Amino acid sequence: MMKKLCGLLFSLALLCMQPASASSSEQSPDASKVHLGSVHAAVFDVENGSALYEKNSDAVVSIASITKLMTAMVVLDSGQSLHDMIEIKPIVRELGKNTYSRMRIGSELSRRDLLLIALMSSENLAAINLAKAHPGGFDAFVKAMNEKAKSLGMNSSHFVEPSGLKSGNVSTAADLVKMVVAANDYPLITEFSTTAQHDVRFKNPRYTLSYANTNALVRGGKWDINLSKTGYTTEAGRCLVMMTDIDGRSVAMVLLDSLGKRTPLGDAGRIKKWLTVGKSGKVAGVARRYEREKVAKYTQASTSN
């Protein structure tokens, strides 16, 4: 009961999320002291309901596999048994690049394990098959994704499929904070998204595949991470969202569109340093140039509109 009440309070606070006010500035470090390579970002103190940092957080952009957090919530909300075996079917819709999967078409895996590898290892075919096995099928699943987003107050978000491969899955950094906090109330999502490594056993035919978490910070084990999801497409750039404890503070961070695998991880480290010592350190030159070019394009587009 207490957890549900806390989740409700978090959601209410997120619906009216605004930049940190002067009254909270004494508790939060100077936002001008944090430097990130991500083009869009939002950092949120979950316990007191305040935005610690925002950068182009209202821009509607592609979110790649960050989508899978919404997919996971819809799967769990459906109430379907996690023990059901699901036949792996091929992707029949055009979903762009990165559709390769090691899973064998026609083999079977439980809904629980499909959800696990979709979250921890961003297995795209797993997410697609979870949607196909939903009551009413794929289209009903996508409809449920958008209904869930609306219920969370994610008014600038829209989903067209469950994997994140399509650029039509869009949101904002501010909206994704709401999604991250909501997903954090699902114990299986927190468990699965922070699992470092897992061996999955398929049936018909029997075979085993090893999967690893796509977030190196989870695999490293030095962070106190409660929830994690990475994402990447050409349109979205490198993306990372996390719920983590930093210096006794529960923090949701959303980092969208950065250059290279290391930049979002470096940004997470810079946020952690900023929250603990008051300054973040510098961004690598090539990542900084990428960020400046993308911000300039975003600013120009916003001005022309």
How do residues 3-15 score in pLDDT, each as one tens digit?
A: 444 454 445 445 4
Predicted confidence band of residue 98 (pLDDT cuts 50, 70, 90):
low
- % of the chain with per-residue pLDDT over 90: 82
Give the CA distances from residue 73 to residues 98, 161, 229, in Å, rounded to whole numbers and listed in that order. 23, 14, 13
Predicted confidence band of residue 207 (pLDDT cuts 50, 70, 90):
very high
DSSP H or E stretch at residue 87: strand 85-87
Residue bearing tokens 């350190």: 281
pLDDT of residue 154: 98
If you average pLDDT over every residue of the chain, what do you get?
Answer: 90
pLDDT of residue 218: 97
pLDDT of residue 298: 81
CB 186 within 8 A of CB 72: yes
Which of 228, 140, 219 lies closest to 184 in space, CA to CA?
228
Q: What is the token pair recorded at 270?
A: 């810079």
CATH topology of domain 35-304: Beta-lactamase (3.40.710)
pLDDT score of 187 more than 50: yes
Active site residues: 65, 68, 122
Q: What does the pLDDT look like over 249-270, one tens digit per residue? A: 999 999 999 999 999 999 999 9
Domain boundaries, the chain: 35-304
pLDDT score of 224 more than 60: yes
Predicted confidence band of residue 59 (pLDDT cuts 50, 70, 90):
very high
Q: Kindly state the average pLDDT of the residues 274-288.
A: 94
Q: Which of 74-78, 266-270, 300-304 has the lowest mean pLDDT?
A: 300-304
pLDDT of residue 124: 95
Strands (E), 118-234: 170-171, 197-202, 207-212, 225-233
Q: Kindly state the average pLDDT of the residues 168-194.
A: 98
> Hey, what amino acid is at 285?
G
